Amino acid sequence: MLKRALIALAIVLALSTPVHATDSAAQKQQLEAILRDNPQLIMDVLRENSEEVYMIMRQGSQKAQRAAIITQWKADLDVHKDVIFKNRLVRGNPDAPVTIVAFSDFTCPYCEQAAFTVNTLLKHYGKTVRFVFKNFPLASHEHARAASEYFVAATMQDQEKAWQFYDTVFANRAVLLADGENFLRGTAEALGLDVKRLVKDAQSTEVKARIDEDIKDAQELGFSGTPYFLVNNIVVRGALPLDLFSEAVDMALEHANSKKK
């Protein structure tokens, strides 16, 4: 035990003692010799500080993942993504240089989280960003298709109330999962929508076609699962934290501005 403590002390002293640049090589050799002759010391330190080591490794992994994501985004910038916008609601400035397109499912917990993030981004960026919601209800999710049908039907009545419907459904996702169409009808009634017309429109060929178009767009882009986003041409996968999502918006905005020059 004493030997181990002395070795640890030697390492600390070797690391903490100020040295000139010409002495750094000698210090490194000294430290390497101590560790080479006492390999068990490294394992002991790792075991005793396992939580700290885990956090360091995790931070390194997250940093590498972030760098890989940004590298992919840079490659996405000039690769045009063709999606249908006709008859889709736009939230924000219609002429904004950056468009965020969501491919989302009202019953998905990650989509709920991402919806809050997008609303925060819209408030922060103001007139430089607009938002378009594309329905991507997963077949395996109960009530997902119905929620999309009611939302699209709401857009055919009143655009502002349709966005209120969107916000309310995402904010009460757990209630949607529990009550299904009863919740959707109750939400529509509370917002002052014509529920009788809404229920009829939700089952119409036009609503079905719009949702199918959105699903086809997602599939042709290779999207599986939810949520996915386009930030202009940048593909954003999953419910990213606000700071990282903001980097995608900043990158798209900078690229859009550079093309105007």
Residues 160 and 121: beta-carbon distance below 8 Å: no
For residue 2, is pLDDT > 90?
A: no
- The C-alpha atoms of residue 20 and residue 52 are separated, in whole angstroms, by 30
**Of 45 and 13, the one with more pLDDT:** 45
Of the candidate ranges 13-17, 31-35, 127-131, the one whose mean pLDDT is the lowest: 13-17
Indicate whether 53 pLDDT > 50. no
pTM for the predicted model, two decimal places:
0.76
Does the pLDDT at position 56 exceed 80?
Answer: no
Domain ranges in the chain are: 2-76, 90-260
CB neighbour list of residue 153: distance below 8 Å, 6 or more residues apart = 197, 198, 199, 201, 202, 204, 207
Beta-sheet strands, E only, within 97-212 = 98-104, 129-135
**Each residue of 229-255: pLDDT tens digit?**
999 999 999 999 999 999 999 999 999
What one-character DSSP code corresponds to residue 238? S
Q: Is the pLDDT of residue 11 over 90?
A: no
* CATH of region 90-260: 3.40.30.10
User: Does 184 have pLDDT greater than 50?
Assistant: yes
